[in-house]
Amino acid sequence: MKLKSRYSLISPISLISLPFLLLPSCSNDFEVIDKWKDITIVYGVLNQDDPVQYIRIQRAFLGKENAYTMAQSGDSIYYPDGALTVNMEEYDDNNAYLKTISLSPTYEIAKDTGSFNNSGHKLYKSNDSLEYKNTYKLIITNNSTGKTINAVSPLIHPVIISKPVIGKKINFFNKGLYQSERIEWKSSPNGRLYQPVLRFYYAEDNNGIAGWDDTLTVDWVQMSYTAQNLTGNQSMLTDLAGEEFFKYLKSQIPENSTVSRYFIKMELLIYVAGDELSTYYSINQPSLGIVQEKPVYTNIKNNKGEDEIGIFSCRLIARVDGLSMAFDTCVELTSGQYTQTLGFTNICQ
């Protein structure tokens, strides 16, 4: 696991932005393009709650053509069919080997259009269930060269959320005053970064007849919190400010006099990132200083001990569903100073 200069990598993104590729040659002997080297790009984030695990495996490219032109060729970024064998080895909490999980190529998830080729978007998938107490070692073998690539990740244990509880009536407004609702949880083994999100569900009736034609959501994302250790059981909390909740709804839901809206429910989600993924996020945050160059972080290594490109880590989403609104909060939604023009029908109980 190393930090190194972005310009030491031969990745598709850095090739497009490298300034020295634009410089003219000073002599016939000067070679801008370095000797070709196979560099593998791996992105995999495991979640035991997902029914399918996907690993993205591509290769960096380097050539004399325009980088944008090369990026549009699938041969530039994907290994040929049959070129790789991709497995995960499963180990228990005593580091004893349990089994090998095979991952097979799939094209079932389409890639958005952009600078890189989006046809034949190849991923590697497994339908095997994962056990949160175990550790997983990714092993990628290049069948032509014998090169192997390895990375290891544990899984995040279940997160215990003590506040709110399922079915709680959220009270952002009471007796004429805005008030906060507290969220409390315990950090979980192998979880480093925690980001709460309050999801607001509502329906729109576009025909003037009572009914839920369209169910929509608004995600109110809170600041993230970093656990002090990876052993778990650290008390963590945040307060959701009531007035800010109504202000945020106003900013996210457009006024439309032709629709009636109905509150359905709220749901609390806490997104949790493993240690490696948390570090990756932190390093790739927007830079506020004059120096814009950032180090590149990876935990992907080959059998020579050299860094490749990418990240292999874990994540989890903890949930408390079925949250409703207290009576005064519901009334404030329908007729309060911030949201009275949004067309929410008063069905408060």
Report pLDDT digits (tens) over 65-110: 444 444 444 456 889 999 999 999 999 999 999 999 999 999 988 7
Reading the block at residue 130, the tokens are: 């994962």
Q: Are residues 107 and 72 in the same domain?
A: yes
- Residue 89 sits at the vertex; the CA angle it makes with 232 and 226, to the nearest 5 degrees, is 25
Q: What percent of the chain has pLDDT above 70?
A: 78
Residue 231 lies in a domain: yes
The candidate with the shortest Cα–Cα distance to 314, out of 164, 152, 201, is 152
Strand ranges inside 114-213, DSSP E: 123-126, 135-142, 148-154, 160-163, 169-170, 173-174, 177-178, 181-186, 193-205
Which residue bears the tokens 């994540």? 315
**27 pLDDT more than 50:** no
d(CA 51, CA 175): 46
Q: Is residue 195, in this structure, part of any structural domain at all?
A: yes
Q: Mean pLDDT, to the nearest integer, of 223-239?
A: 97
pLDDT at 7: 26
| Per-residue pLDDT tens over the stretch 33-45 | 456 678 899 999 9
Are residues 74 and 195 both part of a single domain? no
Up-side HSE of residue 274: CA atoms within 13 Å toward CB?
Answer: 23
Q: Is the pLDDT of residue 47 over 80?
A: yes
Provide the pLDDT confidence category of residue 208 given band limits of 50, 70 and 90. low
Q: Is there a domain that residue 86 lies in?
A: yes
The per-residue pLDDT for range 237-262, each reduced to its tens digit, is 999 999 999 999 999 999 998 888 99
The domain in which residue 230 lies consists of 160-273+318-342
What is the DSSP track for 49-117?
TSSSEEEEEEE----SS-HHHHHT-HHHHSPPTTSEEEEEEEE-TT--EEEEEEEEEE--SPPPPSSS-
- The total domain count for the chain is 2
Residues 132 and 176 in one domain: no
Residue 43 included in any domain: yes
Q: Is residue 279 part of a domain?
A: no
Classify 198 as helix, strand or coil: strand
Point out the domain boundary residue: 154, 174, 195. Answer: 154
**Cis peptide preceding 154, ω within 30 of 0:** no
pTM of the shown model: 0.82
Max mean pLDDT among 50-64, 153-167, 196-210 falls in 153-167
Q: Which of 154, 179, 213 is the last residue of a domain?
A: 154
Residues 209 and 334 in one domain: yes
